[in-house]
Amino acid sequence: MVALSEDLKTPKPALSRAARRASDSNAGGTTLTDRSAEDREYTEQTLWMLAVRDKRDKAAFGCLFDFYAPRLKAMILRNGISGSHAEDIVQDVLLTVWNKAGQFDPQRAGVSGWIYQIARNRQIDLARKYNRPVPEELRTEDRTEEEAGQILALEQETQKLKRALAALPEEQREMVEKAYLGELTHSDIRNMTGLPLGTIKSRIRLGLDRLRNELKDLR
């Protein structure tokens, strides 16, 4: 298990890989899967954050790192910061998440909003330090919170779609993926699989009906 030393300047991506390999349970500890009824009301990201806050759980921090690092970098790049500087800010933000985890309160803020606010504040500090104009996107706190919520909602919907696709019978999933993800025509699928057009259309229709039923509560 990788230890976080007091003089650690920035968290490295290797930390998250090592953390994921860490044992889910320590002596006398509790695994991430041992959730109370209250825990089940939280998102997966919030459970990771609570494990970091309450148990200093490096495996959970690794999950947070892997989930938020690319999303933070994309947001920072959109604010006009170069790639290398964006990576430095991401490292600094996630180190702050580890060091200040005790300040996180899920009753006051969602984990995404809390982390994106740290990133926002860091970008503003750097802009002021180097006498640069603060990007318009960072001037309003509500916008940062709204963007974080939208990203998390999109991630949740994407995961639900993946689960719904995986739950389809194999013959239906294959046809739906070829037609919509592979952008193949029914004739292309017939030429590729040798199946009759009627069978292809029937499997696609049945698969789409099941997907609509599974995803009916999405926006």
pLDDT at residue 218 greater than cutoff 70: no
Enter the tokens of residue 69.
Answer: 């690092």
Query: What percent of the chain has a predicted confidence (pLDDT) above 70?
Result: 67
pLDDT at residue 95 greater than cutoff 90: yes
pLDDT at residue 67 greater than cutoff 80: yes
Looking from the CA of 77 toward its CB, the CA atoms found within 13 Å total: 9
Per-residue burial over 61-76, b if 16 or more Cβ lie within 10 Å, else e, is bbbbbebbbebbbebb
Phi, psi of 56 (to 5 degrees): 55, 45
- 93 close to 118: Cβ distance less than 8 angstroms: yes
- CA separation for the pair 154, 102 (Å, rounded): 27
pLDDT at residue 19 greater than cutoff 60: no
pTM of the model as a whole: 0.50
Residues for the chain: how many in total? 219
- CA separation for the pair 66, 113 (Å, rounded): 17
- 141 close to 94: Cβ distance less than 8 angstroms: no
pLDDT at residue 185 greater than cutoff 80: yes
DSSP structure string for 149-191: HHHHHHHHHHHHHHHHHHHS-HHHHHHHIIIIIS---HHHHHH
Confidence band (pLDDT; 50, 70, 90) for 178?
Answer: confident
Confidence band (pLDDT; 50, 70, 90) for 121?
Answer: confident
pLDDT at residue 217 greater than cutoff 90: no
Q: Which domains does the chain have, with CATH numbers?
A: 11-20+43-166 (1.10.1740.10), 168-219 (1.10.10.10)
- CA separation for the pair 198, 73 (Å, rounded): 47
Q: What is the pLDDT of residue 86?
A: 87
Q: Which residue has the higher pLDDT, 144 or 94?
A: 94
